[in-house]
A and B are shown apart, each in its own frame.
Chain A
Amino acid sequence: MLLSPDEVARARTIAKKPEVVSKQRLPVRYHVEDLDTADRPRRFLEAFAAILKHTNYRAALDHYIRVSNKCSRCTTQCQVYMASGDERDIPCHRSELLLSVYRRHFTPSGILRGRVLGDPGLTDAKIQEMAQAYYDCTACRRCFLECPMGIDHGLITHLARYILSEIGIAPRALVVSTREQLIGATGNTSAVPGPALLDNLEFLTEEIQSAKNVEVKFPVDVEGAEYLFLAPVSDYIMEADTLMGIGAVMHATGDSWTIGTKYFDGINYGLFYSDQILEHVLHKVRAEADRLKVKKILIGECGHASRSAKYFYPAYCGGRNAHPVVNIIEYAHKAWKEGRLRIQPNTITERVTYHDPCNIARPGWIVDQPRELLKAFCSDYVEMTPNGRNNICCGGGGGTVSIDEIRPFRTSIAGKVKAEQIRATGAKYCVAPCANCKKQLRELMQDQKVDCEIVGLHDILFKALILQEDK
């Protein structure tokens, strides 16, 4: 445990609009659209029952309730618990909140025991506890790597949040963005209008021209292109350097790609709180991919966008006939290995380290590729400890980074271990190829006073790329 009880208490305060959040009928530290409070236990159980009926979660729950051994190995992995030492942050303890509800209300022995012992079951207080607990978890799934019984506490967090969202409990920060994405005028989470996107792409072309004396166009609405490119839409506002790097890579390889003006947002907050939204957002991706008749989907530097596309697009958008999904890092790495990308060695001489975004590293998908790329042009590359598949969450995972109200928790507790990891490397640059990680790590560096600049991979790869200059 790294923090004193006082520090932990201070970390659990509300940073943004505290007068609004503390007045909510649901006493959690994030802003919710506090619509219905009546009869919550009954509605929670109804939602749970409906979800169990139509989804596959029952298989996991029936298994997990029987094998949990309370060995507490997960305590050695969870960076939230490592910082706070609070028993509420133990993954198995948190999962038990939902599993106990499942046992009591949805298994024959639990129902029988409840009747015999006179246990009333789910209460409003328990729902309030779950509503807070499941948003203190970043769903990074590091605990799953160390559970000998194979219990995926990230899956339980995911399910609990889904049930809560079906009774109207979800962070307003996520809900508002999602509404704009699905039924709003602009159709993306940052409300970027179409014309602004085009202006932005022109701007990127100009910037690349002045930096490298090469004309790199960002193709738009190209029918029959091989790749449909989806970045986290906030990159178009905030991460010009990343997009410049990506544009330059695509220019160098010569593969045909396009951005679709009808849908260009890779972000999918449904992964964080609702399977229904997860599916609907992916339908938008499929619709755009079908409209432009592309062959593959290319996701930019974003962890959850990559994961929702790679691991859920097949489930929702065609199974074996779904478009293959590629992450830009694996694309660039493959192109470099095949000799289609030329990189200037020793371009970056300052110390560089690499942060593995949970959503792409935990499944073992993007682990070695960024490192090999970085070592090709950074002369002082160092690893943080631990690293790779087992790396530690930035502290803002699972959508928590978008909830500004809980910044003290994110930067004092959830990200504390990460801050010390980065500080220990002494690196000038920390490469974090994920839009959410970048926001969290930048806030973390500020609040924890670590002198390190957070950059995307393609930001610095751009500097090292050797492009054929225009005459």
Chain B
Amino acid sequence: MEAWLEFGRGPLFRLALALMLLGLLRLVLLDIVSLAEALRRSQDRIVAWNQVWKTTFSWLFPVGRLWKMRPVYSAVSFVFHAGLLLVPPFLAAHILLWKRGAGVAWPALPQSAANWLTVATVVAAAGLIIGRIAHRGSRSLSRFQDYAWPVLLALPFISGYICTNVATAPRVYQWLMLIHVLSADVIMIAIPFTKIAHCALMPLSQAVTAVAWKFPAGAGDRVAATLGFGDRPTWVEKPRLGLPERPAECQKSEVAAQ
């Protein structure tokens, strides 16, 4: 048991953290490189960067815009994200681990605030699943990972809370701590390969969309040439794949015939 815990906190933690950080960095870099390449290929390089930044900012800090649609689900999601983003980095117990392992420290959340936020996060996770099931549109869209992620993310919160605040037998404590550490490791490894990559990619979304609408000149003709319509554009009538040629009389303007 000790060995598993040391492994989970030690080499596996370092591997998981590296995979998560490097994985996300790779995705962000790929996005930025694709953006630069796309702009280079297009003749139109004027992007409304102010608008892009404004919209990005309004989604990163969506107070004021989120509750206009699906207000209850939005509130639940907001609380959930607040807990996810504030508790793991600012919990005193975690900062102590960083101090011991890497010699760095930073201010911590007051313990009571951290406790309440943890409870709120777990309740919000349950709320997310209920919200997903209860909404018609949500139900038809959701995949396995959409239901599994709130459960997975709640695990370190539940186990961490019990370990910190509930007196338990040593064996129970060790099991809970093992679940805490391993679930966090699994989460970190899975992040770059699943939709949770949105934590790093979402700030780039508006920029990606804005640049994607900048089409490269001549691309349409090059596509047609690649597909074998090099002798004429694809929208010009001519036999394709061996179908018989239309007789000359039928090639009159079709609009006139209507």
Q: Which residues of A contact B (CB under 8 A)?
A: 35-36, 38, 46-47, 50-51, 53-60, 62-63, 66-73, 75-77, 81, 85, 87, 90, 92-93, 96, 109, 144, 146, 148-152, 155, 165-166, 168, 175-180, 182-186, 190-191, 274-280, 311-312, 314-316, 318-320, 364
Contact = CB atoms under 8 A, between A and B. Distances in A.
Looking at chain A's contact residues, the main secondary structure is helix
Contact of B221 (A63, A148, A185, A276): A276
B38 to A, nearest CB: 4
B212 interface: yes
Given A56-B38, A59-B37, A184-B253, A66 B223 contact: no
A150 B38 contact: no
B30 A62 contact: yes
Looking at chain B's contact residues, the main secondary structure is helix
B137 A81 contact: yes
Given A81-B137, A191-B255, 19 more contacts: A56-B212, A60-B209, A62-B34, A63-B204, A66-B27, A67-B197, A69-B146, A75-B138, A155-B212, A155-B213, A178-B235, A180-B253, A184-B253, A191-B253, A274-B220, A276-B234, A279-B221, A314-B44, A315-B215
B240 to A, nearest CB: 6
Given A56-B216, A67-B202, A72-B141, A318 B227 contact: no
B163 interface: no
A274 B234 CA distance: 10
Contacts of B201: 63, 66-67
B70 A76 contact: yes
A66 B197 contact: yes
Contacts of A38: 241
Contacts of B241: 36, 38
Interface size class for chain B?
A: 35 or more
B206 A150 contact: yes
Interface in B59-79: 59, 62, 66, 69-70, 77
Highest count of chain A CB atoms <10 Å: which of B35, B59, B227: B227
B235 A54 contact: no
B102 interface: no
A184 B140 CA distance: 46
Contact of B195 (A68, A152, A182, A316): A68
Given A36-B243, A63-B205, A55 B216 contact: yes
A89 B102 CA distance: 52
Given A47-B227, A165-B234, A70 B219 contact: no
B227 A50 contact: yes
A182 B208 CA distance: 32
Contacts of A77: 69
A315 B42 contact: yes
A277 B212 contact: no
B18 interface: no
A84 to B, nearest CB: 12
A39 to B, nearest CB: 8
A197 to B, nearest CB: 16
Contacts of A93: 140-141
Nearest to A173: B258
Interface string B218-248: 1111111011000001111100110100000
